[in-house]
Amino acid sequence: MPFITANDGTELYWREWGSGAPMLFISAMGCGSSMWDYQFAEFGEGGMRCISLDRRGHGRSDQPPRGYDFDTFAADLATFIEQRDLNEITLVSHSMGSGDIVRYLTRHGSKRVARIILLAPTTPMLLKTEDNPGGMPREQFEALWALWRRDYPSWVESALPPFFVPETSPAMMRWGTTILQASVPVALACSRALVEADFRAEMRRIDVPAMIVHGERDRSVALEVGGLPSAELIPDCRLKIYPGAPHGLLYTHMEQLHADMWDFMRRQAVTE
Task: In whole angstroms, give the CA distance from residue 9 to residue 191.
Answer: 23
Report DSSP letters for 110-172, one per residue.
Answer: STTEEEEEEES---S--B-BTTBTTSB-HHHHHHHHHHHHHHHHHHHHHHHHHHS-TTS-HHH
How far from 90 is each of 127, 153, 233, 254, 255, CA to CA, in Å? 29, 34, 20, 18, 19
Can you name the residues that pair with 214 across neighbouring β-strands? 241
Exactly one of 58, 94, 214, 247 is catalytic; which is it?
247
Exactly one of 27, 95, 98, 191 is catalytic; which is it?
95
Exactly one of 54, 76, 100, 218 is catalytic; which is it?
218
Confirm whether 247 is a catalytic residue: yes
Q: Which of 226, 218, 238, 219 is nearest to 200 (CA)?
A: 226
Confirm whether 218 is a catalytic residue: yes
Q: Which helix (H) or strand (E) holds 257?
A: helix 254-271
Q: Known catalytic residues?
A: 95, 218, 247
